Amino acid sequence: MQAATPVSGGGDSSNAASSAGNGTHDLPGTDVDDLTPEQLAAQWEEEKPPAAGALANVGSSLVVIGVGVGAVVLSIAMGLGTPSAPQPGLWPFMISCVMVALGLFQLIMGRHNRDAEKFTRMSTAPLTGLVTLAAMVALMPLSGFEVPALVLCIIWMRFLGGETWRSTLVVSAVVVAAFYGIFVTALNTSIPHLF
């Protein structure tokens, strides 16, 4: 680790950037609140993942468009109705149209976007979250919501969030107990439960 002298708030931006780039934020006792805006910007620039290329932008845009078109088709199959007498597919249809429009906009304008991040190992975290959530929904009718919800909280907190085992287990148990208290005891909903 290189030692660097912190730049005072009145220093110019080139000194601040070079100071931050040389490890000012790594010094023991240096608090984020003590850094200048230029030093923070340099630190964020250092720590951000590599930028995605044009191919990644096109690929992500096509995925959004594909999901939106699929949702449009499913919404129409559910029935749209009219604004005065809506059917279940009307709201998903409108949201799906917005998705398709945003995907097309990103496809056209995203070629010039340099802020998109390259896919890394952490990019799979949302997919893992979605798969585990779908598994919980599928298991709820079979075993009630308590055990799947507890397992879901543990996976999300420990493996996706990197929390300690103690905080993971305590918070997961409290969340499931709170959901039970709200939805089963207080509201008496028909959610599947064990007890």
Rounded distance between C-alpha atoms, residue 52 and residue 105, angstroms: 17
pTM over the 0.85 mark: no
pLDDT at 31: 67
Q: What percent of the chain has pLDDT over 90?
A: 37
Q: What's the mean per-residue pLDDT of the chain?
A: 80
What secondary structure, in 3-state letters, does 12-34 show?
Answer: CHHHHHHHHHCCHHHCCCCCHHH
Tens of pLDDT along 47-64? 776 766 777 778 888 999
